[in-house]
Amino acid sequence: MSSTLTKPPGAGPDTFLDFPYQPDLDNPDADIAVLGIPFGMPYETGVVANDQCRAPDAIRQASSKVDIAYTRNHFDWDLGGRLLDGREVRVVDCGNVTADEADPREHYRRAEQAARKIFSAKATLITLGGDHGVPIPVIRALEVFGESVTLVHVDAHLDWRDEINGETQGYSSPIRRAAELPWIDRIVQIGMRGIGSARDAEVQDALEYGAEIIDAYEMHEIGMVEVLKRIPDGGPYYLTIDADGIDPTIMPAVMAQTPGGLDWLQVRQLIHGLINKGRVLGMDLVEIAPMHDVGRITMVHAERLICNFIGASVRAD
């Protein structure tokens, strides 16, 4: 059964690490599902696409068939064994959420429907964006779990803007929108630095809400082990990663390069540490702008990040 909510990745059949394409979201038969959500909500009328909307397919297509065979079948030192650890774990790629050029909001409606179906099937969701507006419909879909979720957010920016040009669902607002949802219990924000989108009022709003804000400089000073201790134990968690939260020396393909972000060891430690603390319902990786990559550095780290999330999740039970 094909889904009108999604379409196959890219111009061809390439999926993430050549895992099976699964268009049937009503019965995905998966433990882990990859979903591309290419489009955020535009701040200007008639401007829907941006470079970030190319990222889901760029991440999928970054590896050759040889690389994929190695990644799936060879010993992975990040994980202490093969990617799926020889277990009966089904990973699928559900393709990209479809869009309607006449109605940009339809993309979010379809994205939320797709995420709800995947969550309802008890699959862990890996979302490939798209700009940072993309997590808004996914976080809304977390309602299906009927329990309080801790949101863990990696970013250079605070993302508590209420609106820009009257638009409340764009890339500067996902954490404020999450804070309005009753199923989001705690918010932990990691990596803020430089001159970002927040004004004084938004910082104050985040603090009054009770967000745990650990800026990049505190993070580097105390280390990721201590950061993890400030995330409530037990889960469940949802992890949203803006690529500009990671240092541009390893993820240069972003629109807002800012020195001082998370390095690779810290990213890996966060992923494994969070999964070991409790169930992680899903994660997203957003704000990669492929045209700004340098020597495939961003794509290499993006794949490693996702593989570490998959491998750690497989080993968590």
Which two three-digit tokens encode residue 185?
A: 């219990």
Average pLDDT, the chain: 94
Half-sphere exposure of 132 (CA within 13 A, CB side): 29
pLDDT > 90: percent of the chain: 88
Picking from 53, 54, 72, the residue whose alpha carbon sits closest to that of residue 64 is 72
In contact, 243 and 251? CB cutoff 8 Å: yes
What is d(CA 274, CA 291) in angstroms, rounded to the nearest whole number?
31
* Residue 125, pLDDT above cutoff 90: yes
Separation in Å, CA 17 to CA 5, 20, 73, 84, 129: 22, 9, 11, 12, 17
In contact, 117 and 25? CB cutoff 8 Å: yes
* Residue 130, pLDDT above cutoff 80: yes
pLDDT > 70: percent of the chain: 97
Burial of 145 (0-12, 13-18, 19+ CB in 10 A): middle
- Is the domain 6-315 a CATH 3.40.800.10 member? yes
Which two three-digit tokens encode residue 242?
A: 């803006």
Give the start-to-end residue ranges of the domains of the chain: 6-315
Question: pLDDT digits over 206-242, tens only?
Answer: 999 999 999 999 999 999 999 999 999 999 999 999 9
* Residue 1, pLDDT above cutoff 50: no
pTM exceeding 0.85: yes
Omega cis (within 30) before 130 = yes
Contacts of residue 46, Cβ cutoff 8 Å, sequence gap at least 6: none
List, in sequence order, every beta strand (DSSP E) within 79-183: 91-97, 124-129, 149-154
In contact, 25 and 114? CB cutoff 8 Å: yes
* Residue 46, pLDDT above cutoff 80: no
Question: pLDDT digits over 11-44, tens only?
Answer: 555 899 999 999 999 999 999 999 999 999 999 8
Output the furthest CA–CA distance in the chain (Å, rounded): 52
* Residue 286, pLDDT above cutoff 80: yes
Q: Alpha-carbon torsion 245, 7, 32, 67, what sign?
A: negative
Which of 12-21, 28-37, 53-62, 81-90 is predicted with the least confidence, judged by mean pLDDT?
12-21
Predicted local confidence at residue 2, as pLDDT:
45
- Residue carrying the six token digits 């800012």: 258
Radius of gyration from C-alpha coordinates of the chain:
18
What is d(CA 29, CA 38) in angstroms, rounded to the nearest whole number?
23
